[in-house]
Structure 1
Amino acid sequence: MKTESTDANTSDQGLITLAHGAGGRVMRQLIESICVEAFNNPALALLEDQARLDMAEIAAHGDRLAFTTDSYVVDPLEFPGGDIGTLAVNGTVNDLAVSGARPLYLSCALILEEGLEISRLRRIMASMSDAAGVAGVSIVTGDTKVVPRGKGDGMFINTSGIGVIPQGVELAASRCQPGDCVIVNGTLGDHGAAILQARGDLALEADLVSDCQPLHGLIARMLAVCPQVHALRDATRGGVAGVVYEFAEASGRAIRLFEDQLPVRPSVRGVCEILGLDALHFANEGKLVAVVPREAADSMVAVMREHPAGRDACIIGEVLDGPAGSVQISTLMGGVRLLDLPIGEQLPRIC
């Protein structure tokens, strides 16, 4: 049974109440009129407690499953370049994609706060649906809970994802080798700076937009031209600095970044200078870090620049033999300094 969205319990003039999470008729109306309508696919429409997926279809794409989960608590819920819904879809798609997997299916669990505007929920579910469509994935199962006013900060989302890794694809941070080049697909820190501006904590007039986007299409093209890519990671919390430290520690190598080659928009650089922060530590939601053999690096960058998600791709560093686990920066002044990781997160509630 499909309930019209003009029902008093789910109209866009209404608010989420505790009844919307109580398991009764009001909850079913909410799920059917907003979630099922937005995500519309046969597996979800059954409204069972689980999605039932065709193993033959899954196996046709590769020989291993990739499975990931993540929770999203971003503040504010909507921001320039996206919202918590697009963030949840693209973040989970990208966590699958950096393993080399083709993303296929997502779950969506909502924790809603009493008092959330149903119109806002409908917008966010619509944007999730749009993001899933762009990424070519289906949201096939989910859950809804409601917490009392003041206990949930509007809305939290948990998404899990399933993808399939093709035969022969082996990506791991431990595979970084001396002489490899470190590549990014575009400008750094866009998401973190956009969220900071959207919070209104600073009187900033810069045009800052999140880079939230799916990366699996770009990654598929990268692997097609260079199957010997050693490592891939999306640079979310902790930024590029966090990723290269993970690479260095897992491989027992050192990584040196070139300060004069780091791609940072002037508006983001200005925010960093005002706050005394480093764009290398800012979160991204549409950026990856790749480690590839030196002989493949230039052709890889050229191929990446042909894809919309990689137009600003460039080489930003190299892998060295040691000291093991260290990250260095060749500075604009011609010196070399160690890159430190912050003890805590520079900007909380960023994703």
Structure 2
Amino acid sequence: MSDIITLAHGSGGKLTHDLIRDIFIKHFSNDILTRAEDSAVLDVEAGRLAFTTDSFVITPVFFKGGDIGKLAVCGTVNDLAASGARPLYLGCGFIIEEAFPIRQLEEIAASMAETAAGCGVKIVAGDTKVVQRGAADKIFINTSGIGIIPEGINISASNAKPGDSVIITGTIGDHGCSILLEREMLGIKADIKSDCAALSGLTGSVLPLYPRLHVMRDPTRGGVAAALNEIASQSGVCIRLYENALPVREDVMGVCGLLGMEPLYMANEGKMLIIAPADISRGILDRLKKHEHGKDSAIIGEVLEAPSKRVLMTTLAGGDRIIEMPSGDQLPRIC
């Protein structure tokens, strides 16, 4: 096999088949994928299905705490987990730029396989396209995912109710800050790495004990601010945050302060927002803290009736600040 991707790898001929066999089948192999049919035929339990699709275009492709392959699996698994589903199957499509190193492609495939196996998910379908040099930025990955929603679970961004508590499962802004430092070469020394992680195990440890929780949302692009504004709008409520309760790493806060950026708007790839009735929020928090991905969980706010469709924050100085939906992108190509 060549050391780099060539246009012939996307031709559908021998090099395409060799690439699929020697990288994707090698790492993703399972009884469904190796049938090599035009569609994966899946056996699923009776009940409600959750289905999601996403695309990943991050720069750099390899970063502290992960790579585009790990990110693609985690992002898709977390979208399913946010609906209360148990993720089962993923499909993935690769758009690869001519001259991309095959060694790096194999590293990405191995990372995807390891991440999927770690959360009990099978990659059962895929596709590969190769485009001319300069027509893409190294590699793009599109994913789709399917999961089963257990009976009795009803999670939606429209379910937040006045009196609910707002929980975040860990520190805010780690992924966005990490990518910013690696990409922009700002000369700032900080030991920050992406929080990229699959959260189905975390949510799966909470839901059986607390099926009454109302909302889960992973705050990726646009960060916590965008996710909470979406929830406030869809539920017709006000969400109030407390600045002194926000878990933000000191080095992330320092970098954001230097650059005039706001951690609430930074992307996260391993955190979940949970909104639940106040009477069970402390129990949820205790459960989260027992999981490796929830040790820094915190109750950061509450849901109010008015002003509707607003996110407010009580600042350290005691005043109120409106947390707007972001109108632009602090850092594009983040996931």
Query: TM-score category by the smaller chain?
Result: over 0.9
Give secondary structure in 2 for the equivalent of 1:192: helix
Cα distance per residue 1:74-117 (max 9 Å; x no partner): 00000000000000000000000111100000001000000100
Number of aligned residues: 335
CA distance in 2, matches of 1:281, 1:224: 31
CA distance in 2, matches of 1:323, 1:126: 48
Which residue of 267, 273, 278 maps to 1:289?
273
Deviation at residue 200 of structure 1 after TM alignment? 3.8
1:128-207 equivalence runs, <5 A: 128-207=112-191
Deviation at residue 135 of structure 1 after TM alignment? 1.3
Equivalent in the alignment of 2:17: 28
Which residue of 326, 331, 335 maps to 1:342?
326
CA distance in 2, matches of 1:239, 1:192: 9
Cα contact 2:56–2:141 (8 A) shared by 1? yes
Q: Is the counterpart of residue 112 in structure 1 residue 112 in structure 2?
A: no
Cα distance per residue 1:143-195 (max 9 Å; x no partner): 00000001111000001000010111000121111111000000000000111
Equivalent in the alignment of 1:3: none
Cα contact 2:48–2:149 (8 A) shared by 1? yes
TM-score relative to the length of structure 1: 0.94
Deviation at residue 201 of structure 1 after TM alignment? 3.0
Amino acid at match of 1:300: I
Amino acid at match of 2:40: A
Amino acid at match of 2:255: V
CA distance in 1, matches of 2:58, 2:265: 17
Cα distance per residue 1:261-286 (max 9 Å; x no partner): 10000111111111111100000001
Cα distance per residue 1:200-226 (max 9 Å; x no partner): 431121011100111111111211221
Q: Is the counterpart of residue 40 in structure 1 residue 29 in structure 2?
A: yes
Cα contact 2:225–2:326 (8 A) shared by 1? no
1:241-320 equivalence runs, <5 A: 241-320=225-304
Deviation at residue 341 of structure 1 after TM alignment? 2.3
Equivalent in the alignment of 1:121: 105
Deviation at residue 331 of structure 1 after TM alignment? 0.4
TM-score relative to the length of structure 2: 0.99
CA distance in 2, matches of 1:174, 1:23: 45
Equivalent in the alignment of 1:101: 85
CA distance in 1, matches of 2:32, 2:115: 18
CA distance in 2, matches of 1:345, 1:171: 28
Cα contact 2:229–2:324 (8 A) shared by 1? no
CA distance in 1, matches of 2:326, 2:159: 26
Amino acid at match of 2:127: D
CA distance in 2, matches of 1:177, 1:298: 17
Amino acid at match of 2:23: I
Amino acid at match of 2:18: Q
CA distance in 1, matches of 2:132, 2:300: 47
CA distance in 2, matches of 1:342, 1:40: 41
Give secondary structure in 2 for the equivalent of 1:245: helix
Equivalent in the alignment of 1:76: 60
Give secondary structure in 2 for the equivalent of 1:125: helix
Q: Superposition RMSD on alpha carbons, in Å? A: 0.9
Deviation at residue 342 of structure 1 after TM alignment? 2.3
Give secondary structure in 1 for the equivalent of 2:53: strand
Q: Percent identity?
A: 52
1:218-229 equivalence runs, <5 A: 218-229=202-213
Equivalent in the alignment of 1:52: 41
Deviation at residue 42 of structure 1 after TM alignment? 1.2
> Which segments of 5 or more consecutive residues in structure 2 lack a partner in the other structure?
none
CA distance in 2, matches of 1:283, 1:195: 10
